[in-house]
């Protein structure tokens, strides 16, 4: 019976398959419960971490708009005595209301916002309070009950005011019930000081019931739970009990009596056994930025039930696979030929990732067709793999490594690293290049920057585009003192690009850090070089700087705005031009384009051949070139592209730009 090689192979395959299935099944059944618990711990922590990130994004949004309004009010109030003026109070409140409306009208979880002036300076009449009723989108005005009308120790009604004033800084107020709004709320409140004098508080309120309803949708199990606790773990907040209940009423740790579960500072893959109304749960928790913790509970019974189901499924799958492959083996073995065995060997090599195989030549039958098809498939796979690798690890615009390619290169380099200097750099005023000349010019500048970096730093460095106009250079096996002259030399060298036959220069800013002298990890290297770069930007750009610890808390809010965004809604026409022979136009906002009867900058440039003088009558051209007095208003006529003649009043200012030389900013309004 087993004299046939085919039958011997069949018997061997079936026996091996059966033994393998039994061994794998036994090992799997013994370990699946432990793996299920470990997997569930990771899964629950992942769910908790993901939800924390989503919730914190919303909380940060509430903080950002409140901090923005607070800074604006602080800037607008010159001194505490200014608040004694009703006009000042009303103007400040009106501007703040406008800012809040723009920022939070589409944020459904924010239910109210307010400004409360210190009563001793401003009284109580001009305070701002806007409330969004249930199931409505618009905020309605309400009058704030003065804090002085409550008892001194009435924390229930005045915590939104007393808590931030007591702390002297922005705080999240613990959950409380608003009698006016008839809802439980969380508040983020910022006190505003002029000098050492408190002048007002600004805050937003979050619907705590809505906040809890959203959290209760987190669990993945049918009877799982999710709710908030305070950071002691003693008070639970649920959608049914937003006022908070003591943990001892509904749950306590089984391992440690009289102690409660507190969210760890760092993520832990360990779960804690918890009890809720007599039912055991595995629990994990994470801290939120509003002073609460998110607790996620999975029922132990369901977790073990899932483990049992997986074991049953595994047994069924093993039985099915044994039966199926037995039948397939019987059918295939009877039709095997030597050429087919060769093709199987080739296919196995390809499946293992070896695409440099020689596919055996086939005959004219079906096996020959299969052999030729396999050869063509192998060739196409090799081409596709090469193309995919290029697309995955390299930036399509510059040809440099992209962020993923940089990470892969650094991972390989880190295993054998000794010392290195990491440089983060970008092109100064890159947004201005895009604004003035278009994104095509910006792309050319990025490509030119990549060429310069590749040429200058050579093959011993890792060069990558980190995104946007930011580039990263890793100088390998070099000490900081040896790399510094090279970095400074690169910063001083002339850099330029060409667009439309016109040559333009640009400068760069760079920040750098060294391993192991300054950083202990790749994360530290990136962070430190990034902070050093921003420090250079804040000091005037076109320079390089090394990281030091004083940069860790630097304020990045001083960086500039996009020219197009700033000028878009300017209530006047703006144009910027060079002070050269033809007064070459560099930029014009929408209102200037409307004066010139042009739809866009390209149409205007084409009509005037890039010269502002083409928009003036011939008799006014000569006077336009005379010296500019910034304090004087000039009167000219503007000739539009459609022949209209507008009389305009113009004020001008001349500045020296590091890239474009003497340029003039002109603001004009039409005179009737």
Rounded distance, CA 260 to CA 265, Å? Answer: 15
Higher per-residue pLDDT: 329 or 570? 570
What pLDDT is attached to residue 252? Answer: 46
Q: Which of 238-252, 432-446, 448-462 has the lowest mean pLDDT?
A: 238-252
Which tens digits make up the pLDDT trace of 4-50?
555 666 676 667 767 776 776 666 666 665 666 667 777 778 888 88
DSSP 485-519: HHHHHHHHS--EEEETTEEEE--EEEEEEEETTT-
Which tens digits make up the pLDDT trace of 267-292?
555 677 777 667 777 888 888 988 89
What pLDDT is attached to residue 430? Answer: 87
Residue % of the chain over a pLDDT of 70: 78
What pLDDT is attached to residue 630? Answer: 82
Whether residue 262 is predicted with pLDDT greater than 70 in this model: the reply is no
What CATH topology corresponds to 563-670?
Beta-Lactamase (3.30.450)
Whether residue 361 is predicted with pLDDT greater than 80 in this model: the reply is no
Q: Which of 61-70, 503-512, 602-611, 643-652 has the lowest mean pLDDT?
A: 602-611
Which CATH superfamily groups domain 403-558?
A: Reverse transcriptase/Diguanylate cyclase domain (3.30.70.270)
Q: What separation in angstroms does the CA of 245 have from each of 186, 230, 356, 430?
A: 16, 11, 68, 55
- Which one is the CATH code of 38-316: 1.10.260.40, 1.10.20.10, 3.30.450.20, 3.10.310.30? 3.30.450.20
Residue % of the chain over a pLDDT of 90: 23
What pLDDT is attached to residue 244? Answer: 83
Higher per-residue pLDDT: 344 or 210? 210
Which tens digits make up the pLDDT trace of 404-453?
888 888 888 876 767 899 999 999 888 888 877 788 889 999 999 999 99
Residues carrying CATH 3.30.70.270, the chain? 403-558
Q: What is the mean pLDDT of residues 356-367?
A: 66
Q: Please, which pLDDT band fits residue 257 given cuts at 50, 70 and 90? A: very low
Q: What is the mean pLDDT of residues 293-304?
A: 79
Q: Which of 41-45, 68-72, 253-257, 354-358 has the lowest mean pLDDT?
A: 253-257
What pLDDT is attached to residue 353? Answer: 64
What pLDDT is attached to residue 559? Answer: 46
Q: Please, which pLDDT band fits residue 558 given cuts at 50, 70 and 90? A: very low
What pLDDT is attached to residue 501? Answer: 84
Whether residue 371 is predicted with pLDDT greater than 80 in this model: the reply is no
What pLDDT is attached to residue 229? Answer: 86
What pLDDT is attached to residue 336? Answer: 52
What pLDDT is attached to residue 283? Answer: 82
Reported as type and span, the H/E element at residue 80 is none
Q: Which of 435-444, 507-516, 545-554 has the lowest mean pLDDT?
A: 545-554
Whether residue 557 is predicted with pLDDT greater than 60 in this model: the reply is no
Rounded distance, CA 445 to CA 505, Å? Answer: 9
Q: What is the mean pLDDT of residues 145-163?
A: 86
Q: Cβ contacts of residue 420 below 8 Å, gap of 6+?
A: 413, 474, 475, 476, 477, 478, 514, 515, 525
DSSP 362-404: --SSHHHHHHHHHHHHHHHHHHHHHHHHHHHHB-TTT-SB-HH
Q: What separation in angstroms does the CA of 641 have from each of 42, 155, 614?
A: 67, 68, 10
Higher per-residue pLDDT: 572 or 9? 572
What pLDDT is attached to residue 171? Answer: 94
Mean pLDDT of the chain: 81
What pLDDT is attached to residue 131? Answer: 92
Higher per-residue pLDDT: 60 or 105? 60
Whether residue 376 is predicted with pLDDT greater than 60 in this model: the reply is yes
Asked whether 640 and 646 are in contact (CB, 8 A), the reply is yes
Residues carrying CATH 3.30.450.20, the chain? 38-316, 563-670
What pLDDT is attached to residue 374? Answer: 66
């Amino acid at each position: 019976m087993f004299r046939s090689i085919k039958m011997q192979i069949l018997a061997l395959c079936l026996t091996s398959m059966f033994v393998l299935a039994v061994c794998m099944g036994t090992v799997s059944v013994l370990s699946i419960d432990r793996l299920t618990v470990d997997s569930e711990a990771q899964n629950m922590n992942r769910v908790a971490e993901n939800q924390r990130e989503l919730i914190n994004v919303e909380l940060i949004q509430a903080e950002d708009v409140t901090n923005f309004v607070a800074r604006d009010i602080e800037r607008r109030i010159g001194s505490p005595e200014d608040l004694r003026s009703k006009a000042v109070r009303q103007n400040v409140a009106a501007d703040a209301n406008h800012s809040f409306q723009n920022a939070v009208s589409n944020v459904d979880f924010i239910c109210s916002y307010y400004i409360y002036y210190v009563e001793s300076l401003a009284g109580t009449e001009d305070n701002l309070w806007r409330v969004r009723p249930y199931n409505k989108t618009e905020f309605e005005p309400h009058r704030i009950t003065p804090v002085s009308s409550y008892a001194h120790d009435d924390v229930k009604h005045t915590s939104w005011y007393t808590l931030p004033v007591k702390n002297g800084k922005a705080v999240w107020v613990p959950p409380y019930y608003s009698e006016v709004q008839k809802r439980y709320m969380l508040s983020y409140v910022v006190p505003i000081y002029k000098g050492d004098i408190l002048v007002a508080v600004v805050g937003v309120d979050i619907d705590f019931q809505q906040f809890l309803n959203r959290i209760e949708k987190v669990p993945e199990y049918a009877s799982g739970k999710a709710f908030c606790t305070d950071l002691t773990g003693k008070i639970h907040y649920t959608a049914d009990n937003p006022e908070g209940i003591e943990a001892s009423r509904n749950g306590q740790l089984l391992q440690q009596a009289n102690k409660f579960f507190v969210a760890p500072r760092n993520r832990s893959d360990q779960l804690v056994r918890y009890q809720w109304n007599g039912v055991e749960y595995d629990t994990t928790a994470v801290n939120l930025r509003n002073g609460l913790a998110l607790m996620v509970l999975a029922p132990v019974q369901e977790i073990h039930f899932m483990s049992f189901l997986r074991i049953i499924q595994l047994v069924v799958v093993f039985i099915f696979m044994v039966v199926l492959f037995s039948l397939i083996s019987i059918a295939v073995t009877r039709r095997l030929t030597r050429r087919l065995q060769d093709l199987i060997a080739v296919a196995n090599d390809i499946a293992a990732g070896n695409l440099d195989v020689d596919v055996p030549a086939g005959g004219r039958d079906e096996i020959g067709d299969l052999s030729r098809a396999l050869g063509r498939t192998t060739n196409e796979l090799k081409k596709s793999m090469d193309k995919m690798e290029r697309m995955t690890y390299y930036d399509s615009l510059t040809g440099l490594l992209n962020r993923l390619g940089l990470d892969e290169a650094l991972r390989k380099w880190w295993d054998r690293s000794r010392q290195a200097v990491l440089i983060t750099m970008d092109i100064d005023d890159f947004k201005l290049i895009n604004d003035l000349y278009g994104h095509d010019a910006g792309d050319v500048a990025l490509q030119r920057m990549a060429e310069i970096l590749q040429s200058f730093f050579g093959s011993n460095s890792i060069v990558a585009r980190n995104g946007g106009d930011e580039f990263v250079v890793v100088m390998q096996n070099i000490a900081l003192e040896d790399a510094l002259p090279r970095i400074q030399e690169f910063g001083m060298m002339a850099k330029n690009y060409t667009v439309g036959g016109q040559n333009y220069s640009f400068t760069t800013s760079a920040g750098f850090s060294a391993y192991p002298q300054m950083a202990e990890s790749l994360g530290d290297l990136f962070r430190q070089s990034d902070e050093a770069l921003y420090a250079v930007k804040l000091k005037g750009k076109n320079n390089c700087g090394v990281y030091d610890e004083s940069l860790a808390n630097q304020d990045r809010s001083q960086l500039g705005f996009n020219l197009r965004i700033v000028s878009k809604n300017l209530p006047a026409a703006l144009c910027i031009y060079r002070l050269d022979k033809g007064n070459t136009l560099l930029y014009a906002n929408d209102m200037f384009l409307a004066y010139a009867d042009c739809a866009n900058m390209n149409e205007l440039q084409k009509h005037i051949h890039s010269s502002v003088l083409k928009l003036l009558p011939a008799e006014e051209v000569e006077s336009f070139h005379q010296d500019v007095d910034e304090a004087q208003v000039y009167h000219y006529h503007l000739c539009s592209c459609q022949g209209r003649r507008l009389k305009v009043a113009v004020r001008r200012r001349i500045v020296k730009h590091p890239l474009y030389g003497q340029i003039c900013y002109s603001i004009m309004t039409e005179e009737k």
